[in-house]
A and B are shown apart, each in its own frame.
Chain A
Amino acid sequence: MRLRGITKVFPGVVANDRVDFEAAEGEVHALLGENGAGKSTLSNILTGLYRPDEGEIELYGEPAEFHSPRDALDAGVCMVHQHFRLVVPFTVAENVALGDHRKEGSAFLVRPRAIERGVAQLSERYGLHVDPRARIWQLSLGEQQRVEILKALYREARILILDEPTAVLTPQEAETLFRTLRAMAAEGRTVIFISHKLHEVKAVSDRVTVLRGGRTVATVSTAEATRRSLAAMMVGREVDVTRRRERDGEIRGPALELEDLWADGDRGGSAVKGVSLTVRAGEIVAVAGVAGNGQRELAETVTGMRPRAGGAVRVHGRALRGGDAREAIRAGIAHVPEDRLGTGVAPSLSIASNLVLKSYRYRQLALGPLLRLRAIREHAVDLIRRYDVKASGPHVPARQLSGGNLQKVVLAREFSGEPRVLVVASPTRGLDVAAIETVHAYLRGAAAAGVAVLLISEDLDEILALADRVAVMYDGEIVGEVDAATATVEEIGLLMAGGRESP
C-alpha cells in the first residue's frame, strides 16, 4: 500500500499535510506519533471513513479510491479501531457477519449456525478465543478486541490496521497480541500498527513511520532505531514523560478514606466490590487496571455522581452520605472526569460559563438569585491567562477547544476551587506531549500543595511516573497495592489480569 501527498483539512486544523506512507506485504509497519499528530485521520482515510482533500492511494500498484468504508472493505483493508465499532447487543457471530454478503450462500437469509461455525474455526486457527454466541456486553475489552480482529480475518483482510490496540490490554495480553500479529504478517498480510508508545513499536514492528504535526518525519527500520531517536523524531525534542521526579512537599494525614465501598453498575450487579483505600494529603495514589473493571464507577461513587450501596467515603474524617455530587463538592472533592466533553463541560456553553459550573452559587459570583455577569467574566479571563488556555476569549463555546485546552479549562476550574481531594480519571488521554507535561506538572503541584490526589489511569507509564502508591483494580476489587518506586511492570500487569497468567 502506498499513500502519496495525502492532505486532510478540518475546520481550523490541518490533520494531514502532504503525508507520504508506504507499507509492504508481509510486514508489520508501525505508524508512530503523539496524540494529535494525525495518525487516526490517516488511518480513517485508508479505510474509507474520510476522503482526502488531496493526494493518491495505491494498492498493490493500482490506484485506488475509497468513497466509503465499503470500498475499502472490498479492497481487503480492515481496521480495528481504538473505540470498537461493535454492535453491543448483538452476539459475536452477528457482529462478525454484519454487512458481508459473500459467504454461506444465500445473501438474504441469515444462517446463525453456519456463521458461528465459521467464527469458531477462525478463532481456533489464530488463537483468538471467544464464544461466538456471547453478546458483546458480556465480554471484556480484550475479548472484544479479538472480535474486531476476527471480523477482519473473516473478510480475509489483506491489510489490517490497528489503532492503539494495547490501550485496553494488560501487558501479558499485549504480548499475545503481538504474537498473533506477527503470525498474520508471516502469512503475507500487511499489518499497520498505530501507536504513540515507543516500547510497543520496538517490540512488534519491522519498520516505523513517524508522524509529527500532520507531516511525515521519517520512515526507518525498527532494528536500527532506538527509543531515544524515535522519541526525538516524534516530538522534535528530547523529552521523556515517563521519568519519575523527586517528590516535593510532605505527606500528611489521611484526607480521603474509602472503607469497604460498594456500588452498583449500570447493568445490574456490583461494579465496585468492597474497595478500601486511603489517600493522604500530599500523596498521589493511582488506581491501575484495564478499563471496564469498575474504575469509572469508583470515581463516580467517590465524587457523588453515583449512590453508594455500602461502605463509607470519608474526607478528613467526615463521612459523606454519598450519591450527591453537591455534597462531595462542598466537602472539597474536585473531579476531573475521564469523559471531558461529555461530563466535564457543557459543550455548547462558553468557557466562562464552564469555569463557574460549580462555583456560580457563591457570593463572589452571584448576588442572591442573580448572577454577577461581569465578575464571572473577569474570573474567566483571569483563569484563562493563568492556565494558558489557548482561546480567543471567554465567550468561545467549550466544544471548539482542542483536547489539551479543554483539559486545562477543567483543571483550572477544579484547582481554583481549592480542593482538598482531587479525583482525576485518565487525565492525559488523547493529549499531545506538551499537554501531557503540563497536566503532570499540575498534578505534582497539587500534591506538593497538600492535596490528596487519586489518579485513575490505564496508562501504566503515567502511573509509574507520577504515583507514590499503586492500587490495582480488577473486577471491582483492589487485588493488590504496591509501592510505585519499586514495582515492576510485570508485577502490575499480573495484578491487572486478576493475578493470573493470561491464556
Chain B
Amino acid sequence: MNNSILVVVLASAVVYGTPLLYAALGELLAERSGVLNLGVEGMMLVGAVMGFWAVQRIDGSGSAVLALALGVAALAGASMALIHAFLVVTLRANQIVSGLALTIFAGAAGLSSYLGNDLHLADSPAKHAFHPVAPSSLQDLPVVGPVIFGQSVLVYASWVCVLAVAFYLARTRPGLNLRAVGESPAAADAMGINVTRYRYAHTLAGGAFAGLGGATFSLAITPQWVDGLTSGAGWIAIALVIFAFWRPGLCLVGAYFFGAFAALPFTLQSRGVTVAPELFQSLPYVMTVLVLVLVSSAGARRRLGAPASLGLPYVREER
C-alpha cells in the first residue's frame, strides 16, 4: 500500500512542497506589510548555497552543524532582503524592478553561482543532510507512515511555522499592527505605528524564510549544490501567496498541491512511465498560471485579501 503511486506522490508532495511553504510564508509576511518582493528566487538560492557551505566547512556533530547551517541560510536570505528593503522603503524605488534586480543579482547566474564556484561547493554531496527522523515502526504505518512520519525535521518545523504565523497575524498586537500597515499605512502612521520599521522587519523575515526554503533544497531534497537549484520555485512561491489569499493555512495546502506537481514527473519516471519528461516538468508552471487566472478573475473586482498598499511606497510628507 505504501508503495502505491498515490502514497508516494503524497509523501513527495510534502517533501517538494516544503521549500515552497517556507518561501511563501516569508513572502506572505513581507506582502502583508505592503512590500512586494519578487527576489524570492534569488534569496532562496543564496540561502541554499550558504547553508550548504556551512555544512561543508563547519566541523561538529551532525545536528549542531545542520542547525547552524539553517541559521546561516536564514541570515543570508535576510541580508539579500535588506538590499530590497532599503531600496523600496527608504529610497521609495519601484518594488517590482527592485525585486527583479535582486533575482538577477543573487540568482542563478549571479551571486549564488559566484559563491558556489568560489567556495568550490559544486562537486561534493553534503556532509550532513536532513533525513526522516521518526522511528521505522511509525514510518511503516499505512499511508500516514510515509506521508507524515517519513519526513525530516524541516517539514515538521514548517508546520510549526504555519501555526506561528497564523497566530501572529490573527491574535497578537504586532500582527494587528502589521495588517494595518499593509492595508492602510496612513491609518497606521496616524496611530503612531512605525510603518518603516514594520516593513523592514517583515521584509527581512521574508528573506530569512526564503533562505530556509533554499536550504531545504540543498540540505534535504538534493543534498548537493548545483547552479540554479531551485529552478523557479521562488516564482511559484510568489504565486502561492496570491493563491492562498494571503493566509498561512492556505499556503500549506497550496504548497503541497504544487509540490505534488513537481513530484509527479520523477515518480512516474521511476515507474517506467515513458512520457516525455518535459511535458510533466512543465506541469507546475502551467498549474500556476491556471490557478492564478482563477484567483484573479474571480476576485477581479474585489481583490480578496490583497493588502491594499501592496507595491506602493508610503510617503508621509508628500503633498
Per-residue B-contact encoding for A73-115, CB less than 8 Å = 1, 0 else: 1100001010011111110001101111100000111100000
| Known contacts A98-B177, A109-B172; A89 and B183 CB within 8 A of each other | yes
At the interface, yes or no: B7 with Cβ under 8 Å from chain A?
no
Which residues of B have CB within 8 Å of A107? 173
Stretch at the interface among B144-152, B185-193, B288-296: B185-193
| Known contacts A109-B173, A110-B172; A98 and B183 CB within 8 A of each other | no
At the interface, yes or no: A266 with Cβ under 8 Å from chain B?
yes
Partner of A86, one of B173, B175, B187: B187
CB distance from A368 to the nearest CB of B (A): 35
- Which positions 262-279 of chain B face chain A at CB distance < 8 Å? none
CB distance from B142 to the nearest CB of A (A): 41
Q: Are B184 and A87 in contact (CB under 8 A)?
A: yes
Q: Are B302 and A98 in contact (CB under 8 A)?
A: no
Q: Are B180 and A68 in contact (CB under 8 A)?
A: no
At the interface, yes or no: B194 with Cβ under 8 Å from chain A?
yes
| Known contacts A88-B184, A110-B173; A99 and B317 CB within 8 A of each other | no
Which residues of B have CB within 8 Å of A98? 176-177, 180, 187-188, 191, 193
- Residue of B at shortest CB range from A49? B316
Partner of A110, one of B171, B188, B193, B319: B171
Q: Are B302 and A268 in contact (CB under 8 A)?
A: yes
| Known contacts A99-B177, A108-B173; A87 and B188 CB within 8 A of each other | yes
- Please report the C-alpha to C-alpha distance between residue A107 and residue B176 in the assembled complex, in whole angstroms: 12
At the interface, yes or no: B308 with Cβ under 8 Å from chain A?
yes
- Please report the C-alpha to C-alpha distance between residue A107 and residue B184 in the assembled complex, in whole angstroms: 22
Per-residue A-contact encoding for B272-310, CB less than 8 Å = 1, 0 else: 000000000000000000000000000001100000100
Per-residue B-contact encoding for A357-398, CB less than 8 Å = 1, 0 else: 000000000000000000000000000000000000000000
Q: Are B189 and A88 in contact (CB under 8 A)?
A: no
- Please report the C-alpha to C-alpha distance between residue A101 and residue B176 in the assembled complex, in whole angstroms: 12
| Known contacts A94-B176, A98-B176, A101-B173; A88 and B183 CB within 8 A of each other | yes
- Residue of A at shortest CB range from B181? A87
Which residues of B have CB within 8 Å of A87? 179-180, 183-184, 187-188
- Please report the C-alpha to C-alpha distance between residue A49 and residue B184 in the assembled complex, in whole angstroms: 15
CB distance from A230 to the nearest CB of B (A): 27
Which residues of A have CB within 8 Å of B176? 94, 97-98, 110
Q: Are B188 and A99 in contact (CB under 8 A)?
A: yes
- Which positions 234-286 of chain B face chain A at CB distance < 8 Å? none
- Please report the C-alpha to C-alpha distance between residue A95 and residue B186 in the assembled complex, in whole angstroms: 13
- Please report the C-alpha to C-alpha distance between residue A110 and residue B167 in the assembled complex, in whole angstroms: 11
- Residue of A at shortest CB range from B175? A110
At the interface, yes or no: B62 with Cβ under 8 Å from chain A?
no
CB distance from B195 to the nearest CB of A (A): 10
- Please report the C-alpha to C-alpha distance between residue A49 and residue B96 in the assembled complex, in whole angstroms: 28
How many residue pairs between the two chains, A and B, have CB atoms under 8 Å in the bound complex?
A: 82
Q: Are B192 and A95 in contact (CB under 8 A)?
A: no
Which residues of A have CB within 8 Å of B302? 266-268
Which residues of B have CB within 8 Å of A268? 301-302
- Which positions 47-73 of chain A face chain B at CB distance < 8 Å? 47, 49-50, 68-70, 73
Q: Are A81 and B319 in contact (CB under 8 A)?
A: no
Which residues of B have CB within 8 Å of A79? 190
Tally of B interface residues using CB under 8 Å: 26
Per-residue A-contact encoding for B92-116, CB less than 8 Å = 1, 0 else: 0000000000000000000000000
Q: Are B174 and A73 in contact (CB under 8 A)?
A: no
Q: Are B183 and A73 in contact (CB under 8 A)?
A: no
- Please report the C-alpha to C-alpha distance between residue A268 and residue B189 in the assembled complex, in whole angstroms: 30
Which residues of B have CB within 8 Å of A151? 191
- Residue of A at shortest CB range from B190? A85
Partner of A266, one of B171, B193, B301: B301
Q: Are A70 and B192 in contact (CB under 8 A)?
A: yes
- Please report the C-alpha to C-alpha distance between residue A10 and residue B172 in the assembled complex, in whole angstroms: 39
CB distance from B188 to the nearest CB of A (A): 7
Q: Are B189 and A69 in contact (CB under 8 A)?
A: yes
- Please report the C-alpha to C-alpha distance between residue A69 and residue B301 in the assembled complex, in whole angstroms: 34
Which residues of A have CB within 8 Å of B184? 85-88
Q: Are B191 and A50 in contact (CB under 8 A)?
A: no
Which residues of B have CB within 8 Å of A47? 190
- Please report the C-alpha to C-alpha distance between residue A68 and residue B195 in the assembled complex, in whole angstroms: 11
Which residues of A have CB within 8 Å of B192? 68-70, 73-74, 99
Q: Are B187 and A95 in contact (CB under 8 A)?
A: yes
Q: Are B317 and A81 in contact (CB under 8 A)?
A: no
Q: Are B189 and A49 in contact (CB under 8 A)?
A: yes
Q: Are B187 and A85 in contact (CB under 8 A)?
A: yes
CB distance from B187 to the nearest CB of A (A): 4
- Please report the C-alpha to C-alpha distance between residue A109 and residue B177 in the assembled complex, in whole angstroms: 12
Which residues of A have CB within 8 Å of B171? 109-110
Q: Are B191 and A73 in contact (CB under 8 A)?
A: yes
- Residue of A at shortest CB range from B170? A110
Which residues of A have CB within 8 Å of B177? 98-99
Which residues of A have CB within 8 Å of B183? 87-90
Which residues of A have CB within 8 Å of B179? 87, 90
- Please report the C-alpha to C-alpha distance between residue A50 and residue B189 in the assembled complex, in whole angstroms: 12
Known: A98-B193, A107-B173; 12 extra A-B contacts, CB below 8 A, are: A68-B192, A85-B184, A89-B308, A97-B176, A99-B193, A109-B171, A109-B173, A110-B173, A266-B301, A266-B302, A267-B301, A267-B302
Contact surface of B with A, Cβ cutoff 8 Å = 171-177, 179-180, 183-184, 186-194, 301-302, 308, 316-317, 319
Q: Please name 26 pairs of A and B residues whose Cβ atoms are closer than 8 Å in the assembled complex, sorted by A.
A: A69-B192, A70-B193, A81-B190, A85-B184, A86-B187, A87-B179, A88-B183, A89-B183, A89-B308, A90-B180, A90-B183, A98-B176, A98-B180, A98-B188, A98-B193, A99-B177, A99-B180, A99-B188, A99-B191, A99-B193, A108-B172, A109-B173, A110-B172, A110-B175, A266-B301, A268-B301
In the A-B complex, the 4 residue pairs with the smallest Cβ-Cβ separation, listed nearest first, are A99-B191, A70-B192, A85-B190, A85-B187
